Structure 1
Amino acid sequence: RELLCCGRCICLRRLRANPRFETYCAHCQATSNPPSYTSRAEHIEDELPAYPSSSRLQLVKKKDEPAPDVLHFLSPDDTIASLALSYNVPVDVLRKKNSIFSGHLIQARVTVLIPGSHYTASVSLSPSPVEGEEADARKRKIRRWMIACKVIDYDVAVFYLE
């Protein structure tokens, strides 16, 4: 925009940053009236101008949502290091995702979550429990009976339930 008072130009970036410069000259410190809009209204057309072919919008490929976490059923010989190698996931990421602060704590777990952010195949290398669902249900039944009857010995509970 060229100023009428002193002939200086103000760039469009500066005008957008500070709309006050539409009516005010910082150099002369003089205020001018805003431009009239009546002349613009006469030139309004009903149709929008055609866009040139070079300015076509390119479709932006959306980022895929992160893959879901994978549930891995542990076997007695699984370790943090072996899982990290099997799933190609850093050991620190596995520990943080599962709140495991030491490698030996994994033995107390039945399952481990493999983060989908690092393992995108979303296929578990152990899709079902090692012992099977029946054995798991049997163990839960025995533990429930042990608590209800206040029996400490596991073998006694097995004897009573068979």
Structure 2
Amino acid sequence: MSLADSCCTCATLLSDVKVPYDPDSEKPLLYNRRLDCCSRYICASCQSKNPRFQDYCPFCQISSGPSALPREGLRLPPSYTKTPHARNASRTESPPPSYDDLLTPRRVPEQSTEPPADTEDTVHFVGSDDSLQALSLAYAVPIPILRRHNHLYSDQLLQARKWILIPRSHYNGPPLSTPPDPAEEERKTKLRRWMVATKCADYNVAQLYLKGSDYNLEIAVEAFKADEEWEKNHPLEGKGKDKPKPRSRFGRGGSLSGQLS
């Protein structure tokens, strides 16, 4: 042991370690211990505070006394440098994805309007009052299976679907919903397209223009834009503060001062 040696646990120089003594005999209770496995030192103070260090190496994790640890110690952690396997040595690593691909949101394919004709599952047409909990109780299908079978990652996505599939493995019977009326669906589609084209979200106004044009989308949009253009060129006069005050039957004013002025 040299003067430059230090404890491997507290990093104190062995020459500065306060060795615990027996108060009666004034003899040292412990000595600085040199580990046989790695030639490190553990000071007497650390052994006194943690008696486990008297027969255990915290670095090699080897115990000189009875212990559940293996005699050769635990396995070393894997190295940071990767050595390719023989079968993977010929493979070329693919480059990392570009930032443009990471920042571009992944687009989920839209659901088709018509359900698949060759499916063996039961097709349920989604209504405004349907929920996954209600469908799970009605068809006796667990909610996780309904989500996985229809690729629903959230319960709120059900309202955006026109139909969902009830797996045949859990339900084999007639659907508990009626298919929508094609004419009504076409009217709803034209209603939404009219709102997008005119940027008018008023349902009553949309119905008024579509009914007036016999649900001809182009004529309804042109009629709305023509009315907007006419209102722009012919603004209403006398609104708010610009509206003239009604004249009194006495002339300029109803009071005496108004009549004399």
Task: Please report the TM-score for the alignment, with normalisation by the length of structure 2.
Answer: 0.32
Give the number of the structure with larger relative contact order, counting CA–CA contacts within 8 Å between residues 6 or more apart: 1
Higher helix share: 1
Task: Please report the TM-score for the alignment, with normalisation by the length of structure 1.
Answer: 0.49
Higher Cα Rg: structure 1 or 2?
2
